[in-house]
Structure 1
Amino acid sequence: MTAQIHVPSLLSRAGAVSALTLAAVGGTLLAPGAAPEAEAATSYASRALGIAASKKGSPYKYGATGPSRFDCSGLTLYSYKRAGKTLPRTAHQQYNKTRHIAASSRAQGDLVFFHSGGYVYHVGIYAGNGKIWHSPKTGSWVKLDRIWTSKVWYGRVA
């Protein structure tokens, strides 16, 4: 993959320009293998989403963090850990660790936090189309569900 980066036309007309010169004037250069920050974050999120989906049917167990049983934050912690990112243990701690984003900016793999007032009580991984992968409660299992309330906040794992 190659990150596409803007080089001012004046410098590109001048011929070969060193990386130091570009840095000094605020330009950038093409770097094979470099990924823009948003694209890199999306790859972690996509992997975490796929990992959560692969746990479909795993039973809920309070306090469980996998690999075969999960509570809500245990599923998100496990999924992101396997994707290469570290999250704290509880839904509220995970909310505090993420970059908060507007609903209009949400993307697949972002975390969806269910709240009552200022307290976060549940978390899932956004799957698109108003749905999340989550492990909801005792007697249930990891599954894909519609977001059932408007009392949600969104967070992006950095």
Structure 2
Amino acid sequence: MSPKPVSLRPALTRRAAVVAGSAAAAALFATVPAAPAAAPAAPPASPTVTVSTTVVPLAARSATITLDPQAVAAAAPAAARRSAMQKALGKIGSPYRYGATGPNAFDCSGLVTWAFKSSGKSLPRTSNAMSRVGSPVSKSALQPGDLVFFYKPVSHVGIYIGNGKVVHASSRKSPVKISDISRMPFNSARRV
């Protein structure tokens, strides 16, 4: 008597759904910024991204992914901030020129507006006007991509990069560079 044939269809269907769901989740999480190096002990204030998959027959050869719209909306500004920070870091060494908005030379607010505009977010042109957009952030709660303002009244801006440092276009005497936040009189910070 020959053995009875075994159907692999249910197992293959489950496997295809798991693989498709895992690939989609990996693609989504690749766009979510990493947590700062010194994460606080308290749970994060921002919502988490939830991914759910629906199993579909193998014949359909696709998977449905449902995303929480609030989580996606919260992730978009964080991704723009991180992107702007990376673009500003890419301009280290570029010359300072008063009134310049890039892409080859910058003043402080020109660097910030250029970096954020390149990342899909428009900001006012001057540091003083920027200091009134977004949400206020305490110095102790800074995250990479936050705007940091200096002097009273506000006359200088940089982008926080973590570990107490900002990237900024400082003065005619120096190019775009990274500085310790404590080297200038801190005024305020905003998250856009």
Q: Which residue of the other structure, out of 139, 151, 154, is the alignment partner of 1:115?
A: 151
Q: How do 1:92-131 residues align onto structure 2 when only pairs under 5 Å count? A: 92-116=128-152, 119-131=153-165
The correspondence of residues 1-150 of structure 1 with structure 2, limited to 5 A, is 1=28, 3-4=49-50, 31-32=66-67, 34=69, 35-116=71-152, 119-147=153-181, 148-149=183-184
TM-score, normalisation: structure 1: 0.76
TM-score, scaled to structure 2: 0.63
Q: Tell me if structure 1 keeps the 8 A contact 2:108–2:168.
A: yes
Q: Which has the higher contact order (CA 8 A, sep 6+)?
A: 1
Aligned partner of 1:17 in structure 2 is none
Partners of 2:68 and 2:101 in 1: CA distance: 33
Distance in 2, matches of 1:43 and 1:111, equals: 14
Equivalent residue pairs, number: 131
Q: What CA distance in whole angstroms lies between the structure 2 residues aligned with 1:91 and 1:144?
A: 18
For 2:73 and 2:142, the matched residues in 1 are separated by 16
Q: Which runs of 5 or more structure 2 residues have no equivalent in the other structure?
A: 1-27, 30-48, 52-64
Conserved? CA contact 2:96–2:106, under 8 Å: yes
How far has the Cα of 1:114 moved from its partner?
0.5
Measure, in 2, the Cα distance between the counterparts of 1:106 and 1:33.
26
Name the structure 1 match of 2:187: 152
- Give the fraction of aligned pairs with identical amino acids, expressed as a percent: 40
Q: Is the 8 A contact 1:115 1:153 kept in 2?
A: no
The 8 Å contact of residues 108 and 157 in structure 2, kept in 1 or not, is answered as yes
SS at match of 1:96: coil
How large is the Cα RMSD of the aligned pairs?
A: 2.0
Question: Partner amino acid for 2:103?
Answer: P
Structure 1 gaps of 5+ residues are 6-29
Measured in 2, the distance between the counterparts of 1:69 and 1:149 equals 22
CA apart distance, 1:33: 7.4
2:136–2:190 CA contact under 8 A, matched in 1: yes
Cα offset, 1:149, TM superposition: 3.8
Q: Structure 2 CA distance, aligned partners of 1:31 and 1:145?
A: 42
Instruction: Look up the SS of the partner of 1:136 in the other structure.
Output: strand
